[in-house]
Amino acid sequence: FQDPRPPANIDPSSEEGYQASGYGFPSGHSQSAVGVYGYMAYKFKDKSKPFVIPTIFSIFIFLIALSRIILGVHDLQDIVGGLLIGTGFLITFIYLEPIATEKINTFSLPLKILIVIVVSTLLFLLGTLLFPTSGQAPIKNPIPYADSGEYAVVCGAMFGFTVGYLLENEYVGYEPSEASNKQKILNLIVGLIIIFVLYFLLDLLISGNVVLRFIRYFLLSFIISLLVPFVFTKINK
């Protein structure tokens, strides 16, 4: 929407002169928080205490939205817009996901993977070609196709997570519910270490332009969704 961030976002001490690049509306963090924590809360609706976890996640969403204002990178309309748009996407997903899943489950594994490859790649190319300086506004003289494209992150992660999930579900079958509390804690620690190391290692080895950014986030997401659960199954034996 090319809505400028608030004046509080200006930071003369930073290289770009801003705390956060990109336009302000809607708040991506608020939007993502509703999508992720909102869906997780929805999955607890049939549990024995259906209000406890959703309440905790609602607090998370509120604090994330509030933090963006406190940091000075968003104003109120950015936050409200992000929350409303995120809620709209969440409701749409909750309604359509069972219908789509039933249909997609009839497809073979190779066809599912092919669909993911085509859709994620086309969305990445479309977004990048239409907005070659994505993620750099309002920086002066932004560089086209630089290693900052937001579409590279979203589409690369969608590509990696989805393909990884399909393969993990088919060949690994990691079930957190079957692990003991001790195993869950160990899995969490090991998983966080792997993610932390991978994130910085891939950023060091694969960076420089928007295509490499797409590949980097694909690899990161793929490893998280497939290889990390595989490691967990070996640890838990």
- Model confidence pLDDT, tens digit, residues 134-152: 766 556 677 777 777 778 8
Report the distance separating Cα 129 and Cα 34, nearest Å.
28
Q: Which amino acid is at 181?
A: N
* 8-12, 46-50, 191-195, 230-234: least confident range: 8-12
The residue ranges of every structural domain in the chain are 1-105, 107-237
Q: What percent of the chain has pLDDT over 90?
A: 39
What pTM was computed for the model?
A: 0.73
Distance CA 163, CA 89 (A): 22
Q: Is the pLDDT of residue 18 over 60?
A: no
Calpha distance 68→156 (Å, rounded): 25
Structure tokens at 67: 């933090």
- Least confident residue range of 40-49, 171-180, 184-193: 40-49
User: How far is Cα 237 from Cα 232, in angstroms, rounded to an integer?
Assistant: 9
Mean pLDDT of 38-44: 86
Summarize pLDDT for 52-71 with one digit per residue, the tens: 888 888 999 999 999 888 88
Query: Among the listed ranges 11-15, 46-50, 92-96, 97-101, which one has the minimum average pLDDT value?
Result: 11-15
Measured from the Cβ of residue 139, the count of other Cβ atoms closer than 10 Å reads 17
What are the residues whose beta carbons fall under 8 Å from the beta carbon of 52, sequence distance 6 or more? Answer: 44
C-alpha–C-alpha distance, residues 29 and 5, integer Å = 14
Half-sphere exposure of 49 (CA within 13 A, CB side): 4
What number is the average pLDDT over the span 4-16? 58
